[in-house]
Amino acid sequence: MPIVLVLCVIGSYALGTKVFNLYLMVPIGILAYFMQSMGYPIAPLVIGVILGPMADENLRRALMVSQGSFLPFFTRPVALILLVIIVWMFVSQMPFFKRFMAWLKGQTFKKALKKS
């Protein structure tokens, strides 16, 4: 375990050559430990930390090109498809949607029983 700690300290400092990164490493490590102990996966957190700044930079770039308009996000087919997928993923995880789908499956099962 001490080797992992040393490698984390070296990697954290080497990332930006700032001592602030070392101070930031401790609370993030504690947060990750508690998240893992409560059953949350750590991989999405790591992916978010890595991809977050790139997504922010590219969003700013796209907004500068479109002069601050969000309209290109809705008019391009690929962007629209991705937006629909994202909304679907959020909605499909909500409790009311799960209850509705269970109710719908129950109704279709009852209709199938009545027909046979």
Q: How many residues does the chain have?
A: 116
Query: Residue by residue, what is the 3-state secondary structure of 62-115?
Result: HHHHCCCCCHHHHHCHHHHHHHHHHHHHHHHCCHHHHHHHHHHHHHHHHHHHHH
Q: pTM for the complete prediction?
A: 0.51
Give residue-wise pLDDT tens across range 58-116. Answer: 989 989 998 988 888 788 888 889 889 999 999 988 888 888 888 888 876 666 566 65
* d(C-alpha 82, C-alpha 88), whole Å: 10
Give residue-wise pLDDT tens across range 11-43. Answer: 888 888 888 888 888 888 888 889 889 988 888
- Residue 72, both tokens: 């290109």
DSSP state of 39: T
